[in-house]
Structure formats: C-alpha cells, structure tokens
Copies of this chain bind each other. A is one copy, B any other.
Amino acid sequence: MIQSPLEMRHLQTLVALADTGSLSKAAERVFVTQSALSHQLKLLESHYGSPLFERGTKPLRFTQAGARLLALAREVRELTSEAEREVAQWVSGGGGQLRVAVECHTCFDWLMPAMDAFREHWPQVELDLVSGFQAEPISLVETGVADFAVVHDRPAPRTGVAMAPLFTYETVAILSRHHPLAQKLWLAPEDFAGETLISYPVDDDMLDVVRHFLAPAGVKPKRRNAELTVAILQLVASGRGIAALPAWSVQAYLERGYVVAKPLGESGLRCELYAAMPESLAEKPYLQDFVAKIREGA
C-alpha cells in the first residue's frame, strides 16, 4: 500500500466538493473555511502530481484523477458509516428512541428523506414525530418530551440541552412573474407594505421574514395562510400576494418559471438551523448519525 497523505477529511472534502460544485460551498458543508480546503487540495494535488479538478468552471469538473478519488471517497464513506453503525448498534444494544419536534413546515422537505434513511439504518430505534408545531420546540427537549428539535438561529444555551448546527439556507421572496416588484433586483422591507404575505398558518415570530426582515423595519403586511407549499405557490402565481420561503423548497418551481424569487434585502436573508438535543443523548451514535444525514441532505 502506498503511504499516502489521504485522510478521511480529504474524502469528505471531495464528496462535498462534488455535491456542492464549489470550494466555498463545500467548505460550508464541512464546517471549515475555504482557505482550509484550498490548502488541503493543494497538498493532495501536489502529492498526486496532478490537478484533481478544473477550477473556474461552475459547477467544477473533476479530472480523471479527481473523479477516481471521488469514487473512492464515496465507497469508503459508505463502508465506514456502515461498519460504524453496526458497531454502535452492538454496543448500545440496539435500543433507543428518537422523538423529533419541528417548528417549521418547510423543514419537512428535507426532514423526510433524512428520516427515511434513518429508519432504514437504525431499525431498532423508535422514530416518532412529536405532533403539532410548537412555538418553542426547544422546551420540549428541555422537558424530556422530545429528543430532537429543529430550531432557528443560534438559541441561547440551556443547561441540559446540547446544540448542533445543521445548515444554513436563504429564504427568498416569491412573486408572480407579472408582479411589479418582480423587476427589482432585491426587495426591501418597505416593498411589503400594502402587499399580502402568504405563508403557513403559524405565529408571526416563527417566520424568518417577519422576525429578521419585516419586524425590524416595522412593516406589517396583511397575512393570508395556506397549509401546503404548493398551495402557497398557487396563490402567489395568481397574484394574490408575496411569499417568503427557503430557496431550496421552491427550486423546482423556479426552474419552470412558474414564479420568480428575489433576495430579501441587498445581500439576501440567510437563516441558520440548529438541532437541540438532550445533553445526555447528544453523544449517542444514532443521534449523531441523524444530524449527519440531515447535513448531507439525505
């Protein structure tokens, strides 16, 4: 075997690179700086004596060598996580439960795949959804009613509750293609005055737009509710108002030109999602794996 500088972190980097298509996105995904990845890759490339991907293309294209190592990375990751799951299940006796509390509707878009994958990999862990959309899902964790809560922004630390960053996303304004505001490059809070905000039937302070964008500016548009994302988009498309949703949840509709998306504010509205877990369980392999699955979007 060749003594190689190839480490697990490099494999993670390669996979993230392939998944995100860019150095900076990949860096975000693995929670390091772009600089770190640049260093990593420079080292790898100098060792193999060949570039691993072409820079300056979007998305980046792997070279033959890069593609081969990427394939290796995927194989190794798969094997590794499988082995570690097995070991973890033997050690823990296989039991456990995972009661998930969610405060936002759109979260289900990415929660479902993660839960599906989880059920398959941890058949012995009881997976439940704590029903209803609690205003304070974190308190459900605190009181022992839930084992996992998805919360917005970095929450204040609470004793007995461990926090872990999940990922960040941008929430964008969704408008009909014919809406007058669709001409602008980005929307200001004032643009919402006099408009109708179409959203899920939840409290004001649970909406990213309101909490971080409209409320600080003192703007309070009319509200209209819909339960489902598609329903919201229907209303938007027919000019009944503006919505504000996570960019990824409307990706498919945007590509079809069904509606258009505009950044909220000049630099967009970025939101962070965190997981809250009981400190006593936070180290459990199945919980860590659940977090990892969410981060990977699978």
Residues of A whose CB lies within 8 Å of any CB of B are 1-4, 6-8, 48-50, 64-65, 68-69, 71-72, 75-77, 79-81, 83-88, 90-92, 285, 288-289, 292-293, 296
Contact = CB atoms under 8 A, between A and B. Distances in A.
B81 A1 contact: yes
7 contacts: A2-B81, A2-B285, A4-B80, A6-B80, A65-B90, A68-B83, A72-B83
A84 B4 contact: yes
Given A7-B8, A69-B83, A72-B79, A49 B91 contact: yes
Contacts of A6: 8, 80, 84
A79 B68 CA distance: 11
A289 B1 CA distance: 6
A280 B157 CA distance: 57
A79 B84 contact: no
Contact of A80 (B76, B85, B86): B76
Contacts of A69: 83, 87
A94 to B, nearest CB: 13
Given A3-B288, A68-B87, 13 more contacts: A1-B77, A1-B289, A3-B292, A4-B8, A6-B8, A7-B7, A7-B8, A48-B84, A48-B88, A48-B91, A50-B87, A68-B90, A75-B79
